[in-house]
Structure 1
Amino acid sequence: MSKWAGRTAVELAEAVRRKEATPREVVADHLARIAEVNGRVGAFRVVRAAALAEADEVGARPDLAQLPLAGVPVAIKDNLPVRGESTRNGSAATSTVPAAEDHVTVARLRAAGAVVVGLTHVPELCVFGTTDGVHGIARNPWDPTRTAGGSSGGSAAAVAAGLVPIALGNDGMGSLRIPAAHCGLIGLKPGTGRIPVELGGGWFGMSEHGPLATTAADARLMFSVLAGEPAGDLAGDLAGDGSGGQEDEGAPSPGRRSGRLTIAFSTRSPIAGVRVGAAYAALARRAARTLSGAGHRVATAHPPYPLSFGAVILARWTGGVAQDARGLDPRLLAPRTRRHARIGRLAGRLGMFRTDHRAALNERLDPFFEEYDVLLTPALARPGPAAGAWHERGWSANVLANTACSPMTPPWNLSGRPALAMPFGTLPSGLPGSVQLVGRPGSEHQLLDLAAQLEALHPWRRTAPLEATGTPRE
């Protein structure tokens, strides 16, 4: 890689603040990396010609030395408005008219000094856990024959390939954590209310915006900016020790005070009939032993998932898509999307959204999280599908492939609790392994503390070593 591409966001921002690099130099290096690699991983739908001029604007800001993300290149998932660019949401049915204003999360990143270098591929309407469609296919940089996951697959591919240090995505059923797990990244789904949503119906309140990053420090920095947390000396804190000096509002914090958490470990699938594969369970078990050895109290304990969970989540998943598809020409939607929306409309007519499923689920889960600070699970249950035109395949094939791969993520969207996927170990295939951490409401920084501890104990290679052929180096 070039001088600046491949550095962390914390490192890049510090270099710009210290005038060791200009925002233009940093952005130009990353644009060169995108030109070299994007054709092999399919991360970006749009690479922004305006990025260099916007980098110059950041470099001229009088507050440059105080910007947490000074000159840091960032990628934005293509379902969030970016001023001057169309928001296609992976579809031929969406408008080509450029957005007049940035989404609030994009505006916060820009205010912090970040430079938007492009918009990343998503599956149509962000429905499925593979990122492919009429605009392109996002591939896993560690093995381009495999999917990058979805629906934030393009954003994950961009970070894992070293095209940007951080990227913005969102998560309605695991759409940050699934691609993070496939691509060896940290993906944080914040809890309800921590980051403004302002995006359609948000799948009945299940969807949240959050960061994809290669380190816990980068994920913390980006989360803090997105959440609008008081900056203070945030930039200096993060450059120093990665702690950020942030306390969680309203979250019990005995673990933060003592450094010792009570952690539940479970490999039980929330969806009846779907099992976690042995390799994925083994890595999570190894992570549990690592945390136990670090002084945490770890016990095997299974959340009381309701037997009806699979049906509830399917109804909300399809119903959310039915809302998003309103006003779009169905003739321009892929068959799998049309059927998904049709099932969602039927679920609505059957009254399946009248029950407050979030309240019912949390009534079951609250006693569990009163006993345990954090839940540790595998992030995935099976390998991701091969990269390809899944949007041309049938609805049932897509749903079955998604459910078999990633049953562990949806409960935390419905419950509204924060959840984080992070790299841990290596699978027999050579792809990165991943585990999931789930916490109490408001415990995002506690989860990031724990991720930083695991990162220190079991560091990972941050980006995929792509050769000129586009295949991983052995």
Structure 2
Amino acid sequence: MTAWAGRTAVEISDAVRRKEVTPREVVGDHLAGIAARDGRIGAFRVVRAAAALDEADAVGARDDLAELPLAGVPVAVKDNLAVRGESTRNGSAATSAAPAAEDHVLVARLRAAGAVVVGLTHVPELCVFGTTDGVHGTARNPWDPARTAGGSSGGSAAAVAAGFVPLAIGNDGMGSLRIPAAHCGLIGLKPGTGRVPRDLGGGWYGMSENGPLATTTADARLMFAVLAGETARDAVAESPAAPGSPRGAGTADAGRGSGTAPGPRLRIAFSTRAPITGVRVGTAYAALAREAARALSRAGHHVALAHPPYPLSFGAVVLAHWAGGTAQDAEGLDARLLAPRTRRHAAVGRLAGRLGMLRSDHSAALNRRLEPFFDTYDVLLTPALARRGAAAGAWHERGWLANVLMNTACSPMTPPWNLSGRPALAMPFGSLPTGLPGSVQLVGRPGSEHQLLDLAAELEHLHPWERTAPTLRDPARA
């Protein structure tokens, strides 16, 4: 492991602000790791090696270096968000190869905070499905490269889990941030509606949100603060490395041994019931969530078995919105250049529109059903996944139904919180019998992102996890 690759964003930014290391040294170490190992993992579509080093030098020369919350931190950007000077391919041969004239607003915020964009990460075509593969490449799980990294933010998750970058930005329309976070042993936070700028075209009828992928709650909080437009001083103060900070469990190496002051005890509902009728959560995944519930109960929280009142029609409604969002994104593209599964998904979305299944009141109706539940409970705890991710491979060459069934069976727990607009967070917890990281999901009320991060930090302290996959420490396993 090089000197700075594998460090947390909190550690890196603190060292850069103190001028213990230069941004060029930090970025150079991470680029070396990408060059050595990404050939097997497939996290990046584009690595901006020369441009990133130039940008690192520019960060190091800034007069406000001491105020930058992400000073010198290498970040990866999902390939559906514009990065100035680079094409935004969105996983497709049908999209334009012309370079973007301007940064997406969130890329601009990251750069303004001192981050350095080292590359754009692989996504499935139009970010539709829960495996990341297509004409531009395949993203593999660094914990087991034979398995998918998940999707659609699979390349971003793989980049963080492999230690190529400490932070990456992704987005989540049906779980597209939380699903790869769960597969790859990361924290993935889908903010609630309105907390982070969206600017994602149609935005899947309001279901899609942008958010961070990180290896610690401290790093996730730091990146969320920047994306949400909180001030640089607030973002730095959120870090447990900041003197006197009340939040978080610390970094994996420095903070876990010291413990944290417990926050308010919460009313937590625990459920392993899938929101989609006929889908079941696997035994191992339910067992990990049950153990997380016991850990929180032992810590003094009020935990009760309680199931949200999901409507029986939820599966059909969410499929209609999922496909309808794809139909929006496919408008104006040459259908002959789209993969068959994408064309079929868009066709289903157009049919759903003609049948009146994309009404704007579905979100409000779901929230009316959920309000009494969240009046009773502060947080919902569930498994993040229902079963192991698919083998890495050319899922984009397989049929539409095979993809939909695989996605639904693997990750039924995430979509309700997109349709309802509530914040939801996937985080590592324990290990599966396969040796892959386990994961649980925390869901809260509108505006409760920091409460979810606080609870995640408490679980992180109670049940620490390995922050990066063995590929970082043993390149032969990559």
For residue 311 of structure 1, what is the amino acid of its counterpart? A
- Write the distance in 1 (CA, Å) between the matches of 2:239 and 2:262: 19
Please tell me whether residue 262 in structure 1 is matched to residue 267 in structure 2.
yes
Alignment partners' CA distance in 2, 1:428 and 1:241: 37
Q: Per the alignment, do residues 382 and 63 of structure 1 end up closer, same or farther by CA in structure 2, a change over 3 Å counting?
A: same
Aligned mates of 1:282, 1:434 — CA distance in 2: 11
**Shift of residue 122, structure 1, vs aligned partner:** 0.1
TM-score, length basis structure 2: 0.95
Q: Distance in 2 between matches of 1:386 and 1:161?
A: 18
Aligned counterparts of 2:313 and 2:381: Cα–Cα separation in 1? 22
Amino acid in the other structure paired with 1:24: R
Contact kept, 8 Å, 1:379 with 1:421, in 2: the verdict is: yes
Structure 2 vs 1, CA of residues 18 and 98 (structure 1 numbering), >3 Å: closer, same or farther? same
Structure-2 residue corresponding to 1:385: 390
Q: Which amino acid aligns with 2:214?
A: A
Distance change >3 Å, CA 363–CA 242, structure 1 → 2: farther
How far, CA to CA, are the matches of 2:155 and 2:274 in structure 1?
Answer: 27
1:291-340: per-residue Cα shift (whole Å, max 9, x none)? 00011000000000000000000000000000000000000000000000
Which AA in structure 2 matches 1:4?
A: W
1:98 counterpart residue number: 99
The one-letter amino acid paired with 1:28 is G
Among 311, 317, 320, which residue is 2:322 paired with? 317
Q: Counterparts of 1:87 and 1:339 in 2: how far apart (Å)?
A: 23
3-state SS of 1:51 partner? helix
CA displacement at 1:351 relative to structure 2: 1.1
Matched, 1:58 2:59: yes
Q: Which residue of 1 aligns with 2:170?
A: 169
Unaligned residue ranges in structure 2 (runs of 5+): 248-260
What does 1:355-374 correspond to in 2, within 5 Å? Answer: 355-374=360-379
Shift of 1:403: 0.3
Is 1:422 aligned with 2:427?
Answer: yes
Mapped partners of 2:238, 2:421: distance in 1: 29
Measured after TM superposition, the shift of residue 234 of structure 1 is 3.3
Question: Once the 2 structures are TM-superposed, how far is the Cα of residue 239 of structure 1 from its aligned partner?
Answer: 4.6
Alignment partners' CA distance in 1, 2:178 and 2:275: 16
User: Which residue number corresponds to residue 253 of structure 1?
Assistant: none
Residue 86 of structure 1 is matched in structure 2 by: 87
Checking the alignment, whether the CA contact within 8 Å between 1:217 and 1:242 is kept in structure 2 is no
Distance 1:243 1:386 in 2: 45
Which of 451, 464, 477 in structure 2 is aligned with 1:470? 477
Q: Do the aligned partners of 1:70 and 1:114 also contact (CA within 8 Å) in 2?
A: yes
CA distance in 1, matches of 2:6, 2:454: 23
Partner of 2:300 in structure 1? 295
Tell me how far apart the structure 1 counterparts of residues 299 and 373 of structure 2 sit (CA, whole Å). Answer: 23
**What is the distance in 2 between the residues matched to 1:293 and 1:78?**
42
Q: How big is each residue's C-alpha offset from its partner over 1:318-372, in whole Å with a ceiling of 9 and x where there is no partner?
A: 0000000000000000000000001100111111112510000000000100100
Give the match's secondary structure for 2:380.
Answer: strand
Partner of 1:45: 45
Alpha-carbon offset, residue 244 of structure 1: 6.2
Report how many aligned residue pairs link the two structures: 463
Give identity over the alignment, percent: 80
| Residue 257 to residue 295, structure 1, CA distance change in 2 (3 Å) | closer
Q: Whole-Å Cα distance in 2 between the matches of residues 32 and 229 of structure 1?
A: 32
Structure 1 residues 377 and 40: alpha-carbon distance in aligned structure 2, compared to 1, 3 A threshold: same
State the SS of the aligned residue for 2:239. helix
**Post-superposition offset of 1:240:** 2.5
**1:82 aligned partner, one-letter code:** V
Aligned mates of 1:53, 1:436 — CA distance in 2: 39
Equivalence map 1:137-152=2 (5 Å): 137-152=138-153
Q: Which amino acid aligns with 2:12?
A: L
CA distance in 2, matches of 1:315, 1:70: 42
**Matches for 1:265-344 after TM superposition, within 5 Å:** 265-344=270-349
Q: Which residue pairs with 1:31 in the alignment?
A: 31
Amino acid of the structure 2 residue aligned with 1:470: R
2:26 equivalent to 1:21: no
Q: For structure 1, which runs of at least 5 residues remain unmatched after alignment?
A: 247-255
Write the distance in 2 (CA, Å) between the matches of 1:270 and 1:365: 12
Deviation of the 1:70 alpha carbon = 0.1
Distance 1:192 1:469, change over 3 A: same
1:229 Cα deviation from its structure 2 partner:
1.1
Aligned counterpart in structure 1 of residue 350 of structure 2, from 327, 345, 354: 345
How far apart, in 1, do the equivalents of 2:81 and 2:130 lie?
A: 18
**Structure 1 residues 117, 244: closer, same or farther in 2, change over 3 A?**
farther
Once residues 356 and 298 of structure 1 are traced to their aligned partners in structure 2, the CA distance between those partners, rounded to angstroms, is 32
Which 10-residue stretch deviates more, 332-341 or 227-236? 227-236
- 1:404 maps to 409
Counterpart residue identity of residue 426, structure 1: S
Q: In structure 2, how many angstroms separate the alpha carbons of the residues matched to 1:75 and 1:133?
A: 19
**Cα distance, 1:115–1:244 mapped onto 2, change above 3 Å:** farther
**Matched position secondary structure for 2:441:** strand
| Aligned amino acid, residue 206 of structure 2 | G
Alignment TM-score, normalising by the size of structure 1? 0.96
2:88 counterpart letter in structure 1: T
Alpha-carbon spacing, 1:257–1:146, altered in 2? closer, same or farther (3 Å)? closer
Q: How far is the alpha carbon of 1:243 from its aligned partner?
A: 9.1
- In 2, Cα distance between the equivalents of 1:459 and 1:176? 21
Does the 8 Å contact 2:226/2:235 carry over to 1? no
State the Cα deviation string for residues 229-267 of structure 1 (Å, max 9, x = none).
123353255152699679xxxxxxxxx996200000000
**SS in structure 1 opposite 2:475?**
coil
3-state secondary structure, aligned to 2:232: coil
Greater shift, 91-100 or 346-355, is seen at: 346-355
Instruction: Give, in whole Å, the separation in 1 of the partners of 2:234 and 2:179.
Output: 33
- In the alignment, which of 431, 455, 469 is matched to residue 436 of structure 2? 431
Query: Match of 1:34, SS?
Result: helix
CA contact (8 A) 1:14 1:239 kept: no
CA separation of 1:82/1:355 partners in 2, compared to 1, >3 Å: closer, same or farther?
closer
Q: SS in structure 1 opposite 2:151?
A: coil
Change (3 A) 1:414 1:287: same
CA 1:242 to 1:144, structure 2 compared with 1: closer, same or farther past 3 Å?
A: farther
Moved more, 348-357 or 21-30: 348-357
CA RMSD of aligned residues (A): 1.5
Query: 1:180, 1:422 within 8 Å by CA — same for their partners in 2?
Result: yes
Aligned equivalents of 1:440, 1:133: Cα separation in 2: 36
CA distance in 2 between partners of 1:93 and 1:193 (Å): 30
Shift of 1:469: 3.4
Q: Distance in 2 between matches of 1:335 and 1:258?
A: 50
Q: 2:445 matched to which residue of 1?
A: 440
